[in-house]
Structure 1
Amino acid sequence: MKKSLIALSLGGLTIGITEFVMMGLLPDIASDMKVSIPVAGYLISSYALGVVIGAPLLVIAGRNYAPKKMLLILALMLAVFNALSIIAPDYNVLFASRFLSGLPHGAFFGVGAVVASRLADKGKEAQAISTMFAGLTIANLIGVPIGTYIGHHFIWRYTFVLIAIVGLLTFLAIYLWMPNLEKGESVNMKTQLQFFKKTEAWLIIGITAIGFGGLFAWISYIAPLLINVSKFEPEDVSSILILAGLGMVVGNFVGGKLADRFSPAPTTLALLMVMSLDLVLVYFFSFNQYVSLFLTFLTGAISFSVIAPIQMLMIRTAKGAEMIASASLQGSFNIGNALGAFLGGLPLAAGLSYSSPNLIGVAMSIIGMIITFILIKLHQKKVQLQHI
């Protein structure tokens, strides 16, 4: 494996721990900050909001930088802004630090996805991108369970010390291993922003923000689901999250292979259909501990298998504006993060069971399927018109 892709994967590891460890730490932070779990869940939405805002703005601000310099700046931001959470004295400051931590997320993956595709061997672009996202899955396999364990058994703030250290290692790896790629052809922002006039662009954003949001309706409240419905002990959560992480590792690489072998749009449609069926199973059968463990692995695998097909779908649609389109896609993923966490918290605030957020996830996945179907039909119509 190329060292440059390993450097990008380390960035994915930093971002993955930052984004997903909050789900496992919700009970600890809620208790320490003396807020309810749904209110603590807004910390997830705050991070996602930072991603949505930071993704396009930072790519625009750094458009004149070489890719390596841009990635170095973003890696440093990841380390510094996560370090702020270590010293946050109250909920409001922690909320702000989570927002700041989200700012470089989308831009890093947006720039990194384009860089990975340029570094890839011909015909293996999606697999190169999935290598970068492998850091995200390894975070869920190893980093998030370790961070959750630290939060349960010591102090949750120590988890953010770990994240800051990994962020600095990312900076060092990019500095040492990333080649000095040229910026490529200079394209003014007006030309790049023309991409957002395409109907396809907004359909892909909708698929990502709503369809992929089904994952976050599940994982945002996985700790209380496992504790209150599956009846696991709180100290078991960090170990169980390893299963989710293992599923994400498997799903990420499977999704990369599927995206290189088949057309991305039908692949996305099929995977969203499977995700909706899976979340129905989570809702009905999480009371059984053995089934719950299996579904934890399966849901992680299915959800992350969607990433590479959607990423390739966006890049292929955005000829000449790949970087800002890819960054915006990361913002879309985190709109899904915010929507899933917020909408999934509504039935909990209404007093329903900790299984209920999964029904919200089912609805979001189905809406994502409908939008994907519209995108496929739109593409077919354009192809037919070209042959008239």
Structure 2
Amino acid sequence: MVPGRNVLAVAVSAAPATTTPAPPVPATRTAVLAIGALALGGFAIGTTEFVTMGLLPDIAEGIDASIPSAGHLISAYALGVVVGAPVIAALSARLPRRPLAMALMTAFVVGNALSALAPGYGTLVLARFVAGLPHGAYFGVASLIAASLVPDRLRGRAVSSVMLGLAVANVAGVPAATWLGQHLGWRSAYWAVVAIGAVTVLAVLTVVPATPGRSEATIRSELGALKRPQVVLTLLVATVGFGGMFAMYSYIAPIVTEEAGQPAGFVPVVLLAFGVGGVLGTALGGRLADRALFRSLVGATLAVGLLLAVMLVAAGDVVPLTATVFLIAAAASTMVVLLQLRLMEVAGDAQMLGAALNHSALNAANALGAWLGGLVIAAGLGYRAPSAVGVGLAVLGLGFLLASALLRRRELAAG
């Protein structure tokens, strides 16, 4: 059930205004260049996060491991994101934001260089974990910098522009790096990411204005945001509600080949549709956030659930399948941006932690959705069944949003 109009109206603002004075808004050209530099870092991160999947057989052969064992490299990176985001964000909230963004991207470069140099399985797993550590914190600080460069009415679009680098990576960066890895060896893909990361560090140094941190921040005050019910509820939406998309998308290849009856060579076409939908949704999410953040989040979550239900029927024919995948990607990517801004809103002064935690939750959603989707497939229910699981998870996500709205109404009534 979707919350009523009166409940939604009181849920839009769930956190007190930050006490840190905002820096002056710079000229538009400066803001555009700075946000572009930060988005380039998102492009590098998106490329390394997903290129491992495309090169998994090549990597497995190169380190003398089975493909299932090589799959642990993906899990190691995700674990790095989950662990690194809250820890680094809490420890670094006091630091000036431009040097912090540069330091995080430098750590990311080191992690990918170690991946390219890793001599064997164990060292490569460790290197992927290290590469994942700065992921969430980078998007956290980059989101705050971007938001500080524009008027309040454009904050959503500024943050979504940073996230756009991640979306574009799925369309351009991942295919290009995969092709490079297949022709020049899998290590070359990680070296390409190293190069993009190094350029990002230089770009941030050159065009991003100095932005202060929160001098009054402490580890306790930052992590105290996790005690806020609104933060917890939003994280549950990100983990459970967004997990529904991953329940389906984790098994998109067999859906295309087994349900739609297409050859394996058509899978990249569907993946391209997903990537283009992601770019559209990311851009749309910022605009919707600037208009009505909470209502838009409810709408995006509802759209994901409805489209996953459509997928149960559309999976049998290639044209509606491709169109539905495109729309699911658009709705889900819109949801990612809205979740990012919602967490920044409800985290109070701990905005960087809130923005970083979004990426921890999304990686947890990836693991949850893939696991539950695998369970129903293993039970013999077929490759459409994960979409049904996704519908259920989206409904749960809507339930957490309803709880968030009701809690906010209670808070306003009490005080």
Could you tell me how far 1:218 is from its partner in structure 2? 2.9
Is the alpha carbon distance of 1:361 and 1:161 closer, same or farther for their aligned partners in structure 2, counting shifts above 3 Å? farther
Amino acid at match of 1:267: S
Separation in structure 2 between the aligned mates of residue 26 and residue 229 of structure 1, nearest angstrom = 24
Could you tell me how far 1:201 is from its partner in structure 2? 1.3
Could you tell me how far 1:236 is from its partner in structure 2? 4.1
Q: Which residue of 2 aligns with 1:139?
A: 169
Q: Which residue of 1 aligns with 2:331?
A: 302
> Any conservation in 2 of the 1:229–1:286 contact (CA below 8 Å)?
yes
Q: Which residue of 1 aligns with 2:316?
A: 287
> Any conservation in 2 of the 1:13–1:138 contact (CA below 8 Å)?
yes
> Any conservation in 1 of the 2:94–2:215 contact (CA below 8 Å)?
no
1:165 aligns with 2:191: no
1:128 aligns with 2:158: yes
Q: Percent identity?
A: 34
Higher Cα radius of gyration:
2
> Any conservation in 1 of the 2:341–2:355 contact (CA below 8 Å)?
no
Q: Which residue of 2 aligns with 1:335?
A: 364
Could you tell me how far 1:328 is from its partner in structure 2? 1.8
* CA distances 1:318-371 after superposition (whole Å, capped 9, x unpaired): 221111222222211221122223333334455654444333322222211111
Could you tell me how far 1:374 is from its partner in structure 2? 0.7
Separation in structure 2 between the aligned mates of residue 79 and residue 277 of structure 1, nearest angstrom = 40
Q: Which residue of 2 aligns with 1:206?
A: 236
- Match 1:317 to one of 346, 371, 389: 346
Separation in structure 1 between the aligned mates of residue 403 and residue 309 of structure 2, nearest angstrom = 24
- Match 1:106 to one of 126, 132, 136: 136
> Any conservation in 1 of the 2:242–2:393 contact (CA below 8 Å)?
yes
1:20 aligns with 2:68: no
* TM-score, normalising length: structure 2: 0.84
Amino acid at match of 1:374: A
Q: For structure 1, which runs of at least 5 residues remain unmatched after alignment?
A: none
Amino acid at match of 2:245: L
1:385 aligns with 2:414: yes
Q: For structure 2, which runs of at least 5 residues remain unmatched after alignment?
A: 1-28
Could you tell me how far 1:130 is from its partner in structure 2? 0.3
1:9 aligns with 2:47: no
Separation in structure 2 between the aligned mates of residue 177 and residue 317 of structure 1, nearest angstrom = 30
1:277 aligns with 2:293: no
SS for the counterpart of 2:152 is coil
- The 10-residue stretch of structure 1 (125-134 or 243-252) with the greater mean CA deviation from structure 2: 243-252
> Any conservation in 2 of the 1:24–1:237 contact (CA below 8 Å)?
no
Amino acid at match of 1:341: A
Separation in structure 2 between the aligned mates of residue 77 and residue 254 of structure 1, nearest angstrom = 31
Amino acid at match of 1:115: I
- Match 1:217 to one of 229, 242, 247: 247
Is the alpha carbon distance of 1:24 and 1:353 closer, same or farther for their aligned partners in structure 2, counting shifts above 3 Å? farther
Separation in structure 2 between the aligned mates of residue 199 and residue 49 of structure 1, nearest angstrom = 24
Q: Superposition RMSD on alpha carbons, in Å?
A: 2.5
Separation in structure 2 between the aligned mates of residue 331 and residue 16 of structure 1, nearest angstrom = 14
* TM-score, normalising length: structure 1: 0.89
> Any conservation in 2 of the 1:212–1:333 contact (CA below 8 Å)?
yes
Is the alpha carbon distance of 1:321 and 1:211 closer, same or farther for their aligned partners in structure 2, counting shifts above 3 Å? same
SS for the counterpart of 2:410 is helix
SS for the counterpart of 2:133 is helix
Q: Which residue of 2 aligns with 1:186?
A: 216
Could you tell me how far 1:265 is from its partner in structure 2? 2.4
* CA distances 1:79-135 after superposition (whole Å, capped 9, x unpaired): 221233334455444433322221110000111111111112231101100000010
> Any conservation in 2 of the 1:47–1:100 contact (CA below 8 Å)?
yes
Could you tell me how far 1:138 is from its partner in structure 2? 0.7
Separation in structure 1 between the aligned mates of residue 139 and residue 86 of structure 2, nearest angstrom = 12
Mapping for residues 36-51 of structure 1, pairs under 5 Å: 41-51=71-81
- The 10-residue stretch of structure 1 (62-71 or 41-50) with the greater mean CA deviation from structure 2: 41-50
Is the alpha carbon distance of 1:351 and 1:97 closer, same or farther for their aligned partners in structure 2, counting shifts above 3 Å? farther
Could you tell me how far 1:12 is from its partner in structure 2? 0.9
> Any conservation in 2 of the 1:142–1:242 contact (CA below 8 Å)?
no
> Any conservation in 1 of the 2:93–2:352 contact (CA below 8 Å)?
no
Separation in structure 2 between the aligned mates of residue 11 and residue 28 of structure 1, nearest angstrom = 26
> Any conservation in 2 of the 1:152–1:235 contact (CA below 8 Å)?
no
> Any conservation in 1 of the 2:98–2:209 contact (CA below 8 Å)?
yes
Separation in structure 2 between the aligned mates of residue 29 and residue 226 of structure 1, nearest angstrom = 25
- The 10-residue stretch of structure 1 (70-79 or 139-148) with the greater mean CA deviation from structure 2: 139-148
Separation in structure 2 between the aligned mates of residue 56 and residue 161 of structure 1, nearest angstrom = 27
Amino acid at match of 1:375: S
Is the alpha carbon distance of 1:169 and 1:348 closer, same or farther for their aligned partners in structure 2, counting shifts above 3 Å? farther
Separation in structure 2 between the aligned mates of residue 351 and residue 36 of structure 1, nearest angstrom = 23
Q: Which residue of 2 aligns with 1:371?
A: 400
| Number of equivalenced pairs | 384
Separation in structure 2 between the aligned mates of residue 54 and residue 28 of structure 1, nearest angstrom = 28
SS for the counterpart of 1:306 is helix
Amino acid at match of 2:412: V
Separation in structure 2 between the aligned mates of residue 91 and residue 214 of structure 1, nearest angstrom = 31
> Any conservation in 1 of the 2:140–2:354 contact (CA below 8 Å)?
yes
Amino acid at match of 1:357: P
Q: Which residue of 1 aligns with 2:256?
A: 226
